[in-house]
Structure 1
Amino acid sequence: MNIRIILAGATAACVLGLAAQAQELKFANFTPPFHTINASVIETLNAAISDATGGDTSVRGYHGGELGAGPVEQYVRAVQGVADMVWGLPGYTSSQFERTMLVELPDAIPLDKPGYESLWAAFDENLADEFPATVPLALWTSEPNIFIMKDHDIRSPADVEGLKLRVAGATSAEVIEALGGTPVQMPINQVYNALQTGLIDGVVTGASTLNDFKLDEVANSYTLGANLGRLSFYTVMNQGAYDSLSDEARAALDEVAGPNLSQIAEEAWDAQAEDAMSKARESGDNTVIDLSEEEAQAFSDAVADVVDTYVADVGGEAALAAMRGE
């Protein structure tokens, strides 16, 4: 037999063998590839696992809802194996994450306290059962919420009365109602059009959305200083996919996951928020309101009953205490 044919066959067999051993972990991302999640979480995971396995195992982001449109079904995609890894917001399926969402409450934790620290402090004893059939890789929060408005300046709870504000979940809806506003629940990727067309007057969320979802193009008034809570996020992995990893890949994942990856994600959100607000202040065509302590307290007083009721309803006293380090 021709030696060239033999060598060609051997080479093909080797290539096929290597291909069979290679494992690509699918990460479902419902946002565009320029979103903060890509560099902070997806690329971090890929670098850690690829380096540890010599490229045999990698993480690939499927962006813009390529593995399924919309953020609401993200957790289910991981459980069902549509994706190996996903990220999402507990607020979109708030009935599953009742205690996790305590971190989102106004005044749950101080404005300057890292949210990821609070979530992991409460996780083992209070939150773990809210994440069935998955391995949580990261839990973190956004920067503190602010008012992002179009043609309305918010200086007191009275300024919210009668306005339509987008909310992410049931808890934030009750907060808006307590302030006298009308909550409108929708995914964040619909907010741009809703603000532009007047379907909503504003949104209570973190300033990072000004960059990540271009809300700076349609909003023109921002109010900072009230402790209106923050958004929480998760990255989880299908349990079966985790169990199928090689020893090297699992060790690399375990090393980077947890508080380490969560800190990277949260600091990326914070950096985006700082950049976005710096641009908003410098643009010259925005109103930026920094509340005094007294003005901020008025918002806390207005929503205090909502916070107390929610904590009691979900039996969240122990979880909230853990989050606060009490």
Structure 2
Amino acid sequence: MTFKKLIIAASAALTLSTQVVAEELKFASFTPPFHTINASVIEKLNADVSAATNGSLTVRGYHGGELGAGPAEQYVRVLQGAADLSWGLPGYTSSQFGKTMIAELPGAIPEDMPGYEALWRAYDKHLSGEFPATKPLALWTSEPNIFIMRNKVIRTPADLAGLKIRVAGATAAKVASAFGATPVQMPASQIYNAMQTGLIDGVITGASTLRDFKLDEVADSLTLGAPLGRLTFYTVLNAGVYNDLNAEQKAAIDAASGLGLSKSAEDAWLQTAKEALEVARADSANTIVELTDAEKAAFTKAVSGVVQSYVKSVDGAGALAAMQGK
């Protein structure tokens, strides 16, 4: 064999070796690629991990339920190995995340306090047991929830009496019930059709959904300022997959996750919400209600017992105190 052929053979062997060593983590997402999660978590995680490992470990997003349909099944999808990573809302499987969802309650986390910091403060001692067989890479909250309505304008709790209001999970359901509304739990991906067809009258959620789920196309009234809490989110990695990584890859995952990745997600949600609200305000077809302090007080009074009742039901006093930095 000539020297040139030896070089070619060696190069081919090296390429094959690199291909064998390189590993791709599959990140399942139930939303389309334009959703806020993509740039703020999936692409960021890939860029950081790939750079730290010289490409031996990458993260690839599989969008729109490509690895399996069903937003509520995201956590199970990781446990079963259909995906290595996924993101989701604890509210979709509320019974699993009883203490984590304390963060969603009105006033549980002050509006000027970053939600991701509150969640991580409580994680080790109070929340870790709610994330079995996974390694959480990011925990964060949304922008403050608002009322997003179709053909209904909300100014007082009485305006909600008898209305069907979509909620993400158990905590928001208790809030809706306190206002006299009928809570209807469903994933965000189903809101558009449910609102368009009149199955629901509106939704308690963040303004980012106006863009991420195109709710601006079916809603015509927004009420801002009511004490409606926030949503919580997670990104998790299969613990077995993490344990099988080599030391360099584990270090890369560790460095790319935690508070930094959580902040990236929460900041992105806030920015999407801000931009979506600007667009909504500019649309003359929309009614935008910004509650006065007196009007807010009526809503606050209506939900005054919800927080204490829920926290007690999940034995969550310690978790709440940790979230609040007490």
Scaled to the shorter chain, the TM-score interval is over 0.9
Tell me what 1:156 maps to: 156
Provide, for residues 205-252 of structure 1, a one-character-per-residue CA deviation record: whole Å limited to 9, x for no partner: 000000100100110100011121110000011111111223222222
Q: Tell me whether 1:257 sits opposite 2:268 in the alignment.
A: no
Structure 1 spans left out of the alignment, 5+ residues: none
Shift of 1:49: 0.7
More displaced 10-residue stretch of structure 1: 177-186 or 204-213: 177-186
1:115-130 equivalence runs, <5 A: 115-130=115-130
Provide, for residues 268-287 of structure 1, a one-character-per-residue CA deviation record: whole Å limited to 9, x for no partner: 00000000001111111111
Q: C-alpha separation between the residues in 1 aligned to 2:104 and 2:196?
A: 26
Tell me what 2:141 maps to: 141
Q: Tell me whether 1:97 sits opposite 2:97 in the alignment.
A: yes
Tell me what 2:185 maps to: 185
Shift of 1:91: 0.3
1:205-216 equivalence runs, <5 A: 205-216=205-216
Q: C-alpha separation between the residues in 2 aligned to 1:111 and 1:222?
A: 19
The secondary structure found in structure 2 opposite 1:26 is strand
Q: C-alpha separation between the residues in 2 aligned to 1:190 and 1:151?
A: 18
The secondary structure found in structure 2 opposite 1:34 is coil
Q: C-alpha separation between the residues in 1 aligned to 2:259 and 2:18?
A: 33
Q: C-alpha separation between the residues in 2 aligned to 1:220 and 1:162?
A: 19
Tell me what 2:296 maps to: 296
- Quick check: 1:107–1:300 contact (8 Å CA) kept in 2? no
The residue type paired with residue 45 of structure 1 is L
Q: C-alpha separation between the residues in 2 aligned to 1:22 and 1:303?
A: 52
Structure 2 spans left out of the alignment, 5+ residues: none
1:219-258 equivalence runs, <5 A: 219-258=219-258
Q: C-alpha separation between the residues in 2 aligned to 1:120 and 1:226?
A: 26
Q: Tell me whether 1:171 sits opposite 2:175 in the alignment.
A: no
Q: C-alpha separation between the residues in 2 aligned to 1:96 and 1:217?
A: 33
Q: C-alpha separation between the residues in 1 aligned to 2:112 and 2:273?
A: 14
Tell me what 2:197 maps to: 197
Provide, for residues 50-108 of structure 1, a one-character-per-residue CA deviation record: whole Å limited to 9, x for no partner: 10111111000011111111111111111222211110100011111000000001121
Q: C-alpha separation between the residues in 2 aligned to 1:221 and 1:49?
A: 42
Q: C-alpha separation between the residues in 2 aligned to 1:162 and 1:239?
A: 44
The secondary structure found in structure 2 opposite 1:95 is helix
Q: C-alpha separation between the residues in 1 aligned to 2:223 and 2:83?
A: 38
The residue type paired with residue 74 of structure 1 is Q
Q: C-alpha separation between the residues in 1 aligned to 2:11 and 2:110?
A: 61
1:54-65 equivalence runs, <5 A: 54-65=54-65
Q: C-alpha separation between the residues in 1 aligned to 2:223 and 2:39?
A: 28
- Quick check: 1:222–1:288 contact (8 Å CA) kept in 2? yes
Tell me what 1:32 maps to: 32
CA RMSD in angstroms comes to 1.4
More displaced 10-residue stretch of structure 1: 111-120 or 99-108: 111-120
Q: C-alpha separation between the residues in 2 aligned to 1:155 and 1:111?
A: 21
Tell me what 1:270 maps to: 270
- Quick check: 1:106–1:228 contact (8 Å CA) kept in 2? yes
| TM-score of the superposed pair, with normalisation by structure 1 | 0.97
Q: C-alpha separation between the residues in 2 aligned to 1:118 and 1:4?
A: 61
Q: C-alpha separation between the residues in 2 aligned to 1:162 and 1:320?
A: 31
The residue type paired with residue 163 of structure 1 is L
The residue type paired with residue 207 of structure 1 is A
Shift of 1:7: 4.9
Q: C-alpha separation between the residues in 2 aligned to 1:324 and 1:6?
A: 65
- Quick check: 1:28–1:85 contact (8 Å CA) kept in 2? yes
Provide, for residues 168-203 of structure 1, a one-character-per-residue CA deviation record: whole Å limited to 9, x for no partner: 112211221111111111110010111111111100
The residue type paired with residue 39 of structure 1 is A
Q: C-alpha separation between the residues in 1 aligned to 2:36 and 2:245?
A: 26
| TM-score of the superposed pair, with normalisation by structure 2 | 0.97
The secondary structure found in structure 2 opposite 1:46 is helix
Tell me what 1:313 maps to: 313
- Quick check: 2:166–2:204 contact (8 Å CA) kept in 1? yes
The residue type paired with residue 74 of structure 2 is Q
Provide, for residues 135-157 of structure 1, a one-character-per-residue CA deviation record: whole Å limited to 9, x for no partner: 11000000000000011110110
The secondary structure found in structure 2 opposite 1:266 is helix
Q: C-alpha separation between the residues in 2 aligned to 1:180 and 1:266?
A: 31
Q: C-alpha separation between the residues in 1 aligned to 2:132 and 2:299?
A: 36
- Quick check: 2:143–2:269 contact (8 Å CA) kept in 1? yes
Tell me what 2:42 maps to: 42
